[in-house]
A = this chain, B = another copy of it.
Amino acid sequence: MSSTWGNAIKLSIFGGSHTEAIGVTVDGLPAGEQIDWEEILIQMARRAPGQDPTATARSEKDMPKVLCGLLNGVTTGAPLTAIIENTNQRSKDYENLRVLPRPGHADYTAYLRYGNHHDVRGGGHFSGRLTAPLVFAGALARQILSRRGVTVGSHVVTVGQSQGDEPFEPVHVSPELLNRLNREYFPVIEENAREEMRREIENVRLEADSVGGIVECAVTGMPAGVGNPMFGGVENLISSLVFGIPAVKGIDFGAGFSAAYLRGSQNNDTFYYDEQGNVKTRTNFSGGILGGITSGMPLIFQVAIKPTPSIGKEQDTIHLEKKENAKLVIEGRHDPCIVPRAAPVVEAAACIACLELLAENGSV
């Protein structure tokens, strides 16, 4: 593990913020899957910086380029590699960051881990830009899942102190809702919530600060009975990917941390046969997972995103060469809130985890 992940479906993510290119190899995809390029670009655009809901999906500058694994748009079964070229390779002097680590960033820990050889430019391999290949891989997985009736979507529940969006109705979340959300730039269930959250973000921007938030993700259509006990459970698998997204500091499934305050008689999801003779539960506090295995109810989980560490305010830090305390002002424009952009990344992680679960199960 590290930048390589998986078992039946294997990812290898490479590149840094200012290297020649970034990219991903996905090994283990089934052969014969038609890939819709427009759908890939829609997901890439949702994650891209500076997007607006009305913007076109075709941002030429971040266009992924497939090197192998597709023939006439169809997967061959061989590893699929795509790269995204970096255009801003030599734009700036980053020597400052080498000695003045940014609070909340990986600058200091990367220095400890790799010494002065770490590529500090834009955060190097720790850059949030590395979520682009993850979204690409997720977009492939999403299309394969879609053909098997599995739908993944998410929305922004909270941004900072704003009131936020209503949560998914755990039992009733529908593929239609997910398919609306998973094409939006700032996905919310309740339109009003978006406006309030945008105001919060705008206020924070004006203060040269940033805010965190919570993304809630749901998956419908996963077959019941997929996953494994112990370390091979659905929760383990999803969290092993989700914590690969920079800024993620927490994850919980179903009622999650709220379950800590509940009683068993509240939290236990009771089974029943519905009119079609299918097994359902009346509630879904488990988030669709019991014993690490899917129950057939929607998978639901929440992800905590910390505020972007790059802020305009002056901050205390250290000078690694002079060995003394120092002040730091990070120049340039900063994204005051990455939560809306994190939503498609969280979905991508869910897509990849679900494809892995199906592949392990021989269902792909």
Contact = CB atoms under 8 A, between A and B. Distances in A.
A67 B14 contact: yes
B21 A68 contact: yes
A17 to B, nearest CB: 10
B250 A244 contact: no
Contact of A10 (B2, B109, B214, B291): B2
A19 interface: yes
Interface residues of A, number: 150
Interface in A187-216: 204, 207, 209-214
A78 to B, nearest CB: 4
A19 B76 CA distance: 11
A173 interface: no
Interface string A260-295: 111111111111110001010110011101111111
A304 B250 CA distance: 11
Contacts of A293: 106, 109-110, 112-113
Interface in A1-43: 1-5, 7-8, 10-16, 19-23, 25, 27-28, 31-32
A118 interface: yes
B7 A1 contact: yes
- Secondary structure call for the A interface: mixed
A124 interface: yes
B31 A118 contact: yes
A53 interface: no
Given A14-B67, A113-B226, A212-B261, 18 more contacts: A2-B230, A13-B230, A22-B68, A78-B229, A83-B83, A109-B224, A109-B294, A112-B225, A125-B230, A209-B263, A212-B259, A243-B292, A249-B259, A250-B252, A257-B302, A264-B311, A267-B309, A273-B323
Interface of A: 1-5, 7-8, 10-16, 19-23, 25, 27-28, 31-32, 65-69, 71, 74-81, 83, 101, 103-106, 108-110, 112-119, 124-126, 130, 158, 160-161, 204, 207, 209-214, 224-233, 235-237, 239-241, 243-244, 246, 248-257, 259-273, 277, 279, 281-282, 285-287, 289-296, 302, 304-311, 313, 315-318, 323-325, 360-363
9 closest cross-chain pairs (CB), A and B: A362-B362, A106-B291, A250-B252, A112-B225, A2-B232, A19-B68, A210-B264, A78-B125, A77-B114
13 contacts: A3-B79, A78-B229, A113-B226, A160-B260, A214-B257, A239-B240, A239-B243, A249-B252, A249-B256, A249-B287, A257-B257, A268-B309, A272-B318
